[in-house]
Amino acid sequence: MKLLCLLGPNLNLLGEREKDVYGQMSFEELVQLLQKEAARRGIELEIFQSNHEGALIDKIHEARGKWDGIILNPGAYTHYSIALRDAIRAVNVPTVEVHMSNIYAREEFRHHSVTAPVCWGQITGFAYLGYILAMEAFLLRERSRELSKSP
């Protein structure tokens, strides 16, 4: 299984910003942990972070025919990026939206996601575990498809 993990704006500042919301783990530690957990599960994982909407959209476009799924934390783009939403919908690659914090327990403007309706699912509020849960969801999805094919 091949998964693309896209991390949006300000996630490169993990461990430095709002530790009460996002925790102590640095961005580099998160990347190392996710690579280790992916390898343990037999998943090829590419991680890409950008503060630029267009760069994230380009990566989503490149996912067609290359990746089995996308794990996406759009950051603040979650709440207003119709362009990201359109890109997810256009490529037809299963996408799980992940948020480290519980966006529904934060400020009112964070309660609405424009990207979630075009995603396969959403995981919110489990810190770094959300990315691992997304990996597991993709593995379970693959297994259930295999089971439905067997006689």
Residues assigned a catalytic role: 22, 99
CB 68 within 8 A of CB 42: no
Encoded amino acid at 24, one letter: Q
* CA 140 centroid distance within chain: 16
* Joined tokens for residue 134: 């997304």
Structural element, H or E, at residue 72: strand 69-73
Q: How far apart are CA 55 and CA 120, in angstroms?
A: 22
Q: Which of 83, 145, 142, 81 is nearest to 114 (CA)?
A: 81
